[in-house]
């Protein structure tokens, strides 16, 4: 049988209905990557998102209707909690200049997608929000460090971030480098000393996840290969995927996996959310590449078209814009597939976050 799952968004609430139709007689099972992209149908009313997904018959029972869920309210409330935690984690103190610079970028706003993913993953496996708050804050510190350093003249040389002048434009290059370094070291100190309600073994595991996401086999690996690939004409899709998995997806994966670990998830649950995170991590970058060539700097809050100017390989450049959009849909379908094995109500935030990443406009 084929499972057609219709996800309808009305008044910021998600409803899922299952419709079963007959498959050809020789269709006995479904390969891993047979998810078709989500499609939004233009309408003056709230959009209808239709997910068509082919599943083996044994998996059909795993899909349950999602409860009504107000995503905007959820994100607003979680972001408020995260912002408060970050404010407390980096108080304004001596030396004033370095702490001002750290706070300038860390508290500059943003959607707080990574820390919210961490908290949602923790709650997905039955943990309490407080158990993952230090991890959520640490992930955002690392992410902010990467943005400060990425914007430097020796890297991407950008003047705008989240609609504001970049850190080095305000505080100078030397201070920007040190602010990033300070946030990186504070992230691990904060995770190690401020995690509550969790055994030391799980805290160490979460630290390991975050460390591997940042180092020479994680974010740094993606960044160095990205820099070395600029202007080269022989960069293919496998190399581009390597860059983005390491530069972007690894940190998202650490956020989601760390949340599940600190929430008490078992090994099976942790591996499922890891696969989910890998899909949305790559999805995040595919969408970023698409937005870079379809949106203005004002819409993005950062410099648009900079990848084209630096002759970087991107998904639209190597695949074409339409195929890149289709690939984004496939990644979204695969991410949603991993969540089918969890309670639908608890998984609702992660369903919505995946869709949010896919259809964000900046």
Q: Is position 304 within any domain?
A: yes
Cα–Cα distance for residue pair 246/162, rounded to 1 Å: 22
Q: Is position 71 within any domain?
A: yes
pLDDT on residue 297: 66
Tokens standing for residue 154: 């020796």
pLDDT on residue 103: 98
Q: Is position 13 within any domain?
A: no
Strands (E), the chain: 2-10, 13-21, 39-41, 48-53, 160-161, 164-165
pLDDT on residue 156: 85
Cα–Cα distance for residue pair 287/38, rounded to 1 Å: 14
Per-residue pLDDT, averaged over 303-308, amounts to 62
Q: Is position 19 within any domain?
A: no
pLDDT on residue 64: 38
Per-residue pLDDT, averaged over 170-190, amounts to 98
- Is a pLDDT exceeding 80 seen at residue 358? yes
- CB-neighbour burial class of residue 57 (10 A; exposed 0-12, middle 13-18, buried 19+): middle
pLDDT on residue 300: 60
Query: pLDDT tens, 333-356?
Result: 999 999 999 999 999 999 999 999
Range of the domain at 110: 66-359
Cα–Cα distance for residue pair 236/319, rounded to 1 Å: 10
Query: pLDDT tens, 244-281?
Result: 999 999 999 999 999 999 999 999 999 999 999 999 99
Q: Which is nearest to 129 in space by CA: 161, 189, 66, 84?
A: 84
- pLDDT range class, residue 303, cuts 50, 70, 90: low
- pLDDT range class, residue 229, cuts 50, 70, 90: confident
- CB-neighbour burial class of residue 346 (10 A; exposed 0-12, middle 13-18, buried 19+): middle
Report whether 38 contacts 49 (CB < 8 A).
yes
Tokens standing for residue 354: 């995946």
Q: Which is nearest to 208 in space by CA: 282, 261, 263, 144?
A: 261
pLDDT on residue 53: 33
Strands (E), 82-163: 160-161
Tokens standing for residue 134: 């230090």
Query: pLDDT tens, 199-223?
Result: 999 999 999 999 999 999 999 999 9
Tokens standing for residue 331: 């990644």
Q: Is position 137 within any domain?
A: yes
pLDDT on residue 232: 83
Strands (E), 89-227: 160-161, 164-165
Buried b (16+ CB within 10 A) or exposed e, 211-233: bebbeeebbbbbbebbeebeeee
CA angle 339, 343, 346 (to 5 degrees): 85
Helix orientation angle between 113-124 and 344-359, rounded to the nearest 10 degrees: 160
Q: What 8-state DSSP symbol labels residue 106?
A: H
Q: Is position 53 within any domain?
A: no
pLDDT on residue 308: 62
| Domains of the chain: total | 1
Residue 151 sits in a domain whose CATH number is: 1.10.600.10
pLDDT higher at 63 or 194? 194
One DSSP character per residue, 65-86 reads: PPPP--HHHHHHHHHHHHHHHH
Per-residue pLDDT, averaged over 233-243, amounts to 90
Query: pLDDT tens, 34-90?
Result: 333 333 223 222 333 323 332 233 232 333 334 578 999 999 999 999 999 999 999
Q: Is position 294 within any domain?
A: yes
- pLDDT range class, residue 32, cuts 50, 70, 90: very low
The mean predicted confidence, pLDDT, of the chain is 81
Cα–Cα distance for residue pair 187/144, rounded to 1 Å: 10
Q: Mean pLDDT lowest for which of 132-136, 242-246, 301-305? A: 301-305
Q: Which is nearest to 38 in space by CA: 326, 331, 359, 329?
A: 329
Tokens standing for residue 81: 């909690």
Q: Is position 34 within any domain?
A: no
- pLDDT range class, residue 27, cuts 50, 70, 90: very low
One DSSP character per residue, 10-22 reads: ETTEEEEEEEEEP
């Amino acid at each position: 049988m084929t499972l057609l799952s219709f996800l309808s968004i009305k008044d910021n609430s998600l409803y899922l209905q299952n419709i079963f139709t007959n498959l050809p007689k020789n269709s006995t099972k479904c390969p891993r990557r047979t998810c078709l992209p989500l499609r939004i149908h233009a309408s003056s009313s709230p959009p209808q998102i239709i997910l068509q997904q082919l599943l083996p018959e044994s998996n059909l029972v795993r899909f349950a209707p999602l409860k009504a869920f107000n995503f905007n309210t959820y994100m607003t409330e979680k972001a408020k909690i995260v912002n408060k935690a970050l404010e407390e984690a980096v108080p304004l103190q001596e030396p004033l200049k370095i702490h001002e610079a750290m706070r300038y970028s860390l508290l500059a706003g943003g959607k707080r997608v990574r820390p919210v993913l961490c908290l949602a993953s923790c709650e997905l496996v039955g943990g309490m929000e407080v158990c993952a708050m230090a991890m959520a804050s640490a992930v955002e510190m690392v992410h902010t460090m990467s943005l400060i350093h990425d914007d430097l003249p020796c890297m991407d040389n950008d003047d705008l971030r989240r609609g504001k002048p970049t850190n080095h434009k305000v505080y100078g290059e030397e201070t920007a480098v040190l602010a990033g370094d300070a946030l990186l070291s504070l992230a691990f100190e904060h995770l190690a000393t401020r995690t509550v309600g969790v055994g030391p073994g799980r805290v160490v595991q979460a630290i390991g996840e975050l460390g591997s996401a940042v180092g020479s086999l994680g974010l740094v690996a993606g960044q160095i290969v990205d820099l070395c690939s600029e202007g080269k004409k022989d960069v293919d899709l496998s190399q581009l995927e390597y860059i983005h998995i390491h530069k972007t997806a690894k940190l998202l994966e650490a956020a989601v996996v760390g949340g599940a670990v600190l929430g008490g998830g078992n090994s099976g649950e942790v591996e499922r959310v890891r696969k989910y995170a890998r899909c949305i991590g790559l999805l995040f970058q595919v969408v970023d590449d698409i937005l870079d060539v379809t949106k203005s700097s004002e819409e993005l809050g950062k410099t648009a078209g900079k990848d084209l100017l630096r002759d970087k390989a991107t998904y639209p450049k190597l695949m074409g814009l339409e195929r890149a959009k289709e690939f984004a849909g496939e990644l979204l379908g695969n991410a949603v597939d991993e969540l089918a094995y969890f309670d639908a109500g608890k998984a609702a935030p992660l369903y919505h976050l995946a869709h949010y990443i896919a259809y964000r406009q900046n």
